[in-house]
Amino acid sequence: MRAFLFYLGSILVGGLFFAFARWLGNDYLFFAGYTVLQFIVLATAWNILGGYCGYVNFGSAAFFAVGAYSSVALHKLAAGVDRYFPESLAGIMKLLLPLNIPTLIIIGGIASGLIGLGTGYLTLRLRGAFFAIATLALAVVLQTLIVNWDFVGGSRGAYIIRPSEVPILGSYIQYLFLVMLVLSVVALATARIIEQSRLGYGFATIRDDELAAEACGVPTLRLKLIATTISGALMGMAGAPFPYYIGYLEPGSAFGLAYAVNSIAMPMIGGTTSWVGPLVGALLLGTLQQVATVTISSAVNLLIVGLLLVGFVIIAPKGIVGLVQDFMRERASDGGRPTWRSRLAIFANMRPGAR
Amino acid sequence: MAEPLLHVENLGKRFGGFVALEGINLSVQPGERVGLIGPNGSGKSTLVNCMCGTLQNETGTVRFDGRPVDGLAAHQRSHRGMARSFQLPRPFHTLSVAENLRIPLLYTAHTRSGRHLTQEESAARCHELAGLVGLAPKAHKLPRDLTQVEMRKLELARAMAADPKLLIADEAMAGLSQTEVDDIVALLIKLNERGITIIMIEHIMKAVMAFSQRLVVLVSGKKIADGPPQEVVGHPEVIGAYLGQ
């Protein structure tokens, strides 16, 4: 029932926004909405490793960029089938390429998930600041590789000429918006399922005390690898449609600081122990940044993030969800009968023990 | 004599140049209550860590339930039926008492029964465990809302959750009052009566004597005595180690 409500709510909210933006007839809403949805996916993905397991990842931009560049590579491959494939294969490849966006998302997710798995494997003995530094190093290494990989444009970047229209919807940006909307629901559903499962409890024990978790039979290494893989895959999936959104991709924008900072700040501000936290944080910060971009300048975006982050760390270190949780817990029951607060707390998986 | 549940042979562990354990031999029979004592720094916790897989021993072997467990990770040994409590309680502080008890049920209980517990079975078992250690009224509280003795009880209950064959209680009574110590000793004896083999590491001699059927003494990483408690406490080397030569 709760899962049904979640999916119904997600489809209704997304559908209403889509219908409203179409009614207004302003494509900018889709451009801005795409960015906010992209941050929902990134923040949710970061939170699976950073919030649930307590492993802070500073390399979100790298996973995002792997997804983006996997799309660029496949796009380039499609453009030069005759050059890159022998004649016998070229015919088949022309039938397969260019790939559609959902397929690119899956491929980006697989590529980034594998990088996540590898990162997890190489850094499995690291914790705290050391793990964070290792993920930062990963971003630097991958950016260097991309800068020196001519096929995807190297340091000069690559142009992606996207189709101007798609059947039924018409505008391509509306199509991209819908794709990212579905991806956001997939990311949130993944986080929600994990949270309420055996895996989620295992992640929580890793966050709280890894030694005690092992003593309780939790295979911490395997769980950490699962977390890095899922988190990396979702970040890559968020990045895969990005070249088609932006039209021109260069390493500086794909590995941008904004992705690394936002994917940490959004769950921190929203709250890290529930799937609701990254959603709230991304909606709040993402919308604020879009408004600031239009009304002031895009240069103030990171300033807004920084100020809000400092404010929340001081005033509400548990994030917005943490504040609400405390409010819920105060009167979570009325003589044993569930109240609207306790129902809401259960829906958002705000466990009594959660931070 | 039946095959020992735990058999440690010639176990050794070094930290750099420091020899923490050397040539330790220890056998524990099923259902036995063994006390492990020794002055601070004698290697008791290191021995526990080596037996449980938290540390890897450099020499010797550890056999549990008739099979070698060398090289197995701590969680794999836990799946085989080895459980431990920690010297300083290490609860999962963002999970409630009931959820703390649920973790071993989720990750260990199925490894020997061959099937995962249902939600209802899991909840019933948590309730039973919380009741056993007197924490039922606080099942939905966070560990931070528990007193020191309740925290120790939670630690023991969590170790017990997956029905282990062997429980290693590492200084479960440190910092407790006499009444609380008596409480924990009674609890450990109650657990032993359910068929669980227990190794108790402790400094409080009154508790050790009340609990143990056999006493093992470690000094400077070596075993110096092993036998009935009354005999061991009269052993000249043990007296020397505790009171000085």
Query: What pLDDT score does A49 carry?
Result: 94
Q: Is pTM, for the whole model, over 0.90?
A: no
Domains of chain B with bracketed CATH = 6-92+164-243 (3.40.50.300)
- Closest-CA residue of chain A to B87: A212
CB contact under 8 A, B73 and A353: no
Q: Which long-range contacts (CB under 8 A, 24 or more apart) does B144-151 make?
A: B144/B93, B146/B91, B146/B97, B148/B175, B148/B176, B148/B180, B149/B176, B149/B177, B149/B180, B149/B183, B149/B184, B151/B89, B151/B91
The sign of the CA dihedral A96, A97, A103, A107 is positive
Nearest to A216 among B54, B93, B107 (CB): B107
Which tens digits make up the pLDDT trace of A265-321?
A: 999 999 888 899 999 999 999 998 888 888 888 778 878 888 888 888 888 888 888
Question: For residue A329, which of A315, A350, A300, A313 has the smallest C-alpha distance?
Answer: A350
As to burial, measured by CB atoms within 10 angstroms (0-12 exposed, 13-18 middle, 19+ buried), residue B88 is exposed
Q: How confident is the model at residue B215 (pLDDT cuts 50, 70, 90)?
A: very high
Q: Which residue of B has its CA nearest to A353?
A: B95
Cα separation, A39 vs A48, whole angstroms: 14
The DSSP symbol for B144 reads G
Residues B173 and A228 sit within 8 Å (Cβ to Cβ):
no
pLDDT of res. A354: 43
Characterize the bridge pairing of strands B67-68 and B59-64. antiparallel
* Least confident range of A163-172, B15-24, B224-233: A163-172
Tokens of A307: 């100020």
Question: What residues in chain A have per-residue pLDDT under 50?
Answer: 352-355
Model confidence over A310-333: pLDDT tens digits?
A: 888 888 888 888 888 777 765 555
Q: Predicted confidence band at B160 (pLDDT cuts at 50, 70, 90)?
A: confident
So what's the pLDDT on residue A352? 43
- Alpha-carbon dihedral angle through residues A286, A288, A291, A293, given to the nearest 10 degrees: -70
pLDDT of residue A78: 84
Residues B101/B129, Cβ–Cβ less than 8 Å: yes
Q: Are strands B214-219 and B222-227 parallel, antiparallel or unpaired?
A: antiparallel
pLDDT for the residue B171? 86
DSSP string, A219-259: -HHHHHHHHHHHHHHHHHHHHTTHHHHHSEE-HHHHT-HHH
| Chain B closest-CA separation from residue A128 CA (Å) | 17
Say whether A208 and B158 touch across the interface (CB within 8 A).
no
pLDDT given at position A355: 38
* Residue whose entry in the numeric block shows the structure tokens 């009968």: A337
Phi and psi for A97 in degrees, rounded to 5? -105, 150
Query: Which spans in B68-147 are helix H?
Result: 74-80, 97-107, 109-113, 119-132
Instruction: Give the closest of A204, A216, A221 to B158, CB-based.
Output: A216
Q: What stretches of chain A show up as alpha helix (H) in DSSP? A: 2-24, 27-50, 60-79, 81-84, 87-96, 101-122, 128-147, 172-195, 198-208, 210-215, 220-239, 242-246, 251-254, 257-270, 276-295, 301-315, 319-330, 340-347
- C-alpha to C-alpha distances, A109 to A36, A114, A187, A230, A244, nearest whole angstrom: 19, 8, 12, 9, 16
- Measure in Å the smallest separation between the Cα of B244 and chain A Cα atoms: 36
Residue B228 gets which letter from DSSP? -
Cβ atoms A191, A203 nearer than 8 A: no
State both tokens at B13.
């562990």
Residues in chain A whose Cβ is within 8 Å of chain B: 198, 201-202, 204-205, 207-209, 211-221, 273, 351-355
Predicted local distance difference test score (pLDDT) of residue B33:
94
Distance CA B190, CA B182 (A): 12
Contact B95 A220 (CB under 8 A): no
Residue A209: its chain B contacts at CB < 8 A? 90-93
